């Protein structure tokens, strides 16, 4: 049986964060889609791929390299899941899909063929095994680009179908008649999302799956068919208790992973309230023996038992188009911590600040390098009033009162961030840079009776001071703010 070589058209947004990150020259992952007679055969493949790389092991087996009998997209999924480890080159990998690999060659896959600056397109080509390592090194060093090698080795993808017009439909998971091919029991298409996995969605009985799936889907352009929406309907959970909803979902999840092997196995979403737009959606992380979903000797009852015994953790996310799924994907890719424990505060720039984010460099020199979700200061854009001529009113007192008036709304916007200290924030109405750590700005305290007071503080000391104030390790000595008549 030949290996299915169809792949998604793009790897964005999963690969996008790696485009501008300088990396050491990492080796290339090797995946095996055929049954090998021995370990020696695997070593022979590695040696052949590295035969022209002057003794360096440019190509090496991936940690989960044995994908015998699985389609090429399984290697893509494995590769995307391993990106955060930074063990192998993120943009290229090698796949052996023919038993006569010495004659047939190997498949090189790129997650960005360089044809589009904004979107990373996936492509593949077949090359002789002995040349694979050298080709990849040259691509990595930008000595030769992908298109040049495609011209050299041709555009043979190893497909048996000679009808070029059918290839696009196959990649999109459509049948010859144009209808969606629902490849899995949850209705998911045979074509995976760009990130390489589906996201399980569990809801209480009264929730309409389709409405939630479409509201969450991070897609632009024409509406997608239901089978291509990233969240997949996996089961109903009891209403009324978060603990009961989680317990039922984790019981179901291993069996759902058996039905759809490309469902994300360690995380999923639960709509456990009818007011999910206001109260948010639950993100669940579970630790279980995930590989048992692929073990045909493990029956459904045993899978359910594994779910019941799984370790779980939860957090509530905002229910917003693109935002919810982006947070999920960032956690999966390692760009966002599952949870962080340090305090965070809101930050506002006044109308006299030309570059609103620049002053944060004086407050937190490393704020640009902090992972999403681990920020110390959350910058918010205030809508300041306009004068009759359309210009922004720059009066400091009016600007400050505008911030005060909008603060409550921004606190509500960040209501799912459990480390937010909403009683304090910083306000800066002058240009600052990273060298201005000793310059002063305003710390603001919001009292329970809705009164306000301010205290001057050096920018570089703001975070430590605010933390001490929140922990009551330091006494607040602010000046009461009197509103304009």
Candidates 206, 203, 205; CA nearest to 216 is 203
Sequence-distant (6+) residues with CB within 8 A of 104 are 98, 126, 158
Please say whether the beta carbons of 162 and 155 come within 8 A: no
Candidates 449, 455, 457; CA nearest to 476 is 455
The H or E element spanning position 406 is helix 396-413
| pTM of this structure | 0.58
Candidates 372, 367, 342, 352; CA nearest to 441 is 352
pLDDT in tens for each of the 485 residues of the chain?
688 999 998 887 778 878 766 666 789 999 999 999 889 999 999 999 998 887 778 999 999 999 988 999 999 998 988 888 888 999 999 999 999 999 999 999 999 988 887 788 999 999 999 999 988 987 887 656 788 788 778 655 444 443 333 333 332 333 333 343 446 878 888 889 888 999 999 999 889 999 999 999 876 667 888 899 999 999 889 998 999 999 999 999 998 998 899 999 999 999 999 999 999 999 999 999 999 988 888 887 788 899 999 999 999 999 998 789 999 998 998 888 888 788 999 999 999 888 767 788 888 877 777 777 788 999 999 999 999 998 999 998 898 889 988 999 999 999 999 899 999 999 998 888 888 889 999 999 988 666 788 999 999 999 999 999 999 999 998 887 665 55
150: three-class secondary structure by DSSP? helix
293: three-class secondary structure by DSSP? helix
**152-158 long-range contacts, CB within 8 A, separation 24+:** 153/125, 153/126, 153/127, 154/125, 154/126, 155/125, 156/125, 156/126, 157/5, 157/124, 157/125, 157/126, 158/2, 158/3, 158/5, 158/97, 158/98, 158/104, 158/107, 158/126
Place of tokens 């390592």: 133
């Amino acid at each position: 049986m030949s290996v299915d070589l169809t792949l998604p058209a793009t790897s964005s947004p999963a690969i996008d964060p790696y485009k501008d990150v300088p990396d050491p020259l990492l080796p290339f992952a090797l995946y095996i889609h055929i049954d090998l007679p021995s370990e020696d055969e695997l070593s022979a493949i590695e040696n052949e791929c590295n035969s022209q790389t002057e003794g360096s092991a440019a190509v090496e087996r991936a940690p989960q390299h044995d994908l015998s009998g699985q389609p090429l997209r399984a290697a893509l999924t494995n590769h995307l899941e391993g990106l955060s480890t930074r063990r192998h080159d993120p943009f290229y990998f090698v796949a052996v899909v023919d038993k006569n690999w010495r004659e047939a060659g190997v498949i090189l896959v790129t997650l960005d063929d360089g044809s589009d600056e904004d979107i990373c397109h996936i492509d593949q080509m077949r090359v002789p095994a002995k040349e694979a390592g050298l080709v990849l090194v040259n691509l990595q060093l930008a000595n030769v680009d992908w298109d040049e090698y495609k011209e050299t080795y041709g555009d043979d993808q190893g497909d048996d179908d000679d009808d070029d017009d059918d290839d696009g439909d196959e990649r999109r998971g459509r049948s010859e008649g144009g209808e969606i091919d629902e490849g899995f029991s949850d209705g998911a298409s045979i074509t995976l999302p760009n990130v390489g996995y589906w996201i399980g969605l569990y809801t209480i009985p009264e929730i309409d799956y389709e409405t939630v799936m479409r509201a969450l889907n991070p897609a632009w352009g024409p509406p997608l068919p239901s089978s291509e929406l990233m969240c997949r309907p996996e089961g109903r959970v009891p209403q009324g208790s978060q603990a009961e909803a989680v317990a039922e979902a984790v019981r179901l999840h291993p069996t759902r992973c058996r039905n759809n092997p490309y469902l994300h196995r360690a995380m999923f979403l639960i709509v456990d309230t009818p007011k999910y737009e206001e109260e948010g959606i639950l993100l669940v992380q579970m630790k279980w023996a995930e590989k048992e979903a692929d073990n045909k000797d493990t029956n459904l009852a045993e899978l359910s038992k594994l779910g019941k015994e799984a370790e779980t953790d939860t957090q509530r996310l905002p229910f917003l188009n693109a935002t919810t799924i982006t947070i999920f994907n960032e956690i999966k890719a390692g760009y966002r911590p599952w949870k962080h424990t340090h305090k965070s505060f809101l930050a506002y720039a006044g109308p006299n600040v030309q570059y609103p984010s620049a002053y944060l460099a004086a407050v937190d020199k490393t704020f640009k390098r902090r992972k999403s979700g681990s920020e110390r200061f959350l910058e918010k854009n205030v809508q300041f009033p306009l004068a009759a001529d359309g210009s922004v009113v720059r009066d400091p007192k009016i600007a400050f009162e505008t911030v005060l008036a909008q603060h409550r709304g921004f606190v509500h916007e960040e209501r799912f961030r459990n480390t937010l200290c909403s009683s304090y924030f910083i306000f800066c109405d002058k240009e600052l840079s990273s060298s201005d750590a000793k310059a002063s700005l305003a710390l603001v305290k919001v009292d329970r009776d809705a009164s306000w007071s301010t205290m001057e503080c050096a920018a570089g000391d703001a975070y430590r001071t605010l933390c001490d104030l929140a922990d009551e390790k330091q006494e607040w000595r602010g000046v009461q703010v009197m509103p304009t008549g």
